Amino acid sequence: MSSPLVSLDLIRAAAERLRPVVIRTPLVPVGPPVGANPLFVKCENLQRAGAFKIRGAFNMMTQLPEETRRRGVITYSSGNHGQAVALAASLLKAPAVIVMPTTAPSIKAEGARRLGAEVIFEGTTSTDRRARAEREAAARGLTIVPPFDHQWIIAGQGTIGLEILQDRPDVTTVFVQIGGGGLISGVSAALKQSRADVNVIGVEPSGAAKMKAALDAGQLVTLEKTHSVADGLLPVRAGDLTFAHARAFVDEVWTIDDAQIIKAVRWLFKEAKLVVEPSGAITVAAARRYQTEHPQTRNVVAVLSGGNVAPEAFAEYITRADPRSASGVPTRH
């Protein structure tokens, strides 16, 4: 039986498919004080549709038979993957349906609609969304493009790891956020199969630590609920494939609370003039702590996974005196 783990060849093939479509996002050094080592950030907040997700979505959809694409695709998403599927569908001239939680930020739902997709709201958990997507797919003859637990999706996200290695060959440590686990699966597979010595650290909200719970237990764990300002990282369960990749390629998983996430959003705006959503900034909170604890470590990279944040929410994050009292924090049951 072949390994379920995504190979370096699959990731390289995905990079070729994506070359005409995705933005080669910059790897930017962000200062601390003079004399200290900068933190390098991989700016997927500047990617098309505002997040890394177009990589996996397009890589999968471009491999579907043309007849399948003509019938249409459907996905279930808290927002960024939905927008990515909508964008990929528009590029490939395919109909798209996106099932989002009732708590999805309006900026993400509006983004999917603006790209021509039909948006359906269903429940608050990834389980709710997936069940509705499966019903709609069966009824309409649509093909599901899952948000994270598929080899083609993981291979597409892994192209970020290849780019990090190309731009910073001497990278030592890479911080990657974990929602369902597709991003860290791909990035860690690319990094570890290229340079086994790179330290890969996953980062989850403390209120949504499903991958850490699974790794600690040695098996998949379904959380009763998740809760965080990082609305893109709230699945209650990691995927089967993504759990296997995390076990094989991820060195550690850290958890970060909402106060530190919001401070990271603010720090990125003040120090780098970057607009990053909480889900995208969580890695910076972890990486800055790591740099404080390991001040001699150079070439640390944090992936900024997305920048789709409502203007009013962003204004609150960067001006709030005390980020510990986050208002309107999404919950998934």
Q: Can you point out the beta strands (E) in the chain?
A: 27-30, 39-43, 73-76, 96-100, 118-121, 143-144, 173-177, 199-205, 226-227, 252-256, 300-304, 331-332
Question: DSSP label at 306?
Answer: B
Active-site residue (options: 42, 53, 212, 263): 53
Cα gap 263→245, rounded to integer Å: 30
Round to whole Å and give the CA distance between 252 and 139: 42
53 is catalytic: yes
Residue 101 buriedness (CB in 10 A; 0-12 / 13-18 / 19+): buried
What is the gyration radius of the CA atoms in the chain, in angstroms? Answer: 18
Q: Which is the catalytic residue, given 78, 185, 279, 305? A: 305
Length of the chain: 333
Which two structure tokens, joined as six digits, stand for 172? Answer: 């030592």
Q: Which residues are catalytic?
A: 53, 305
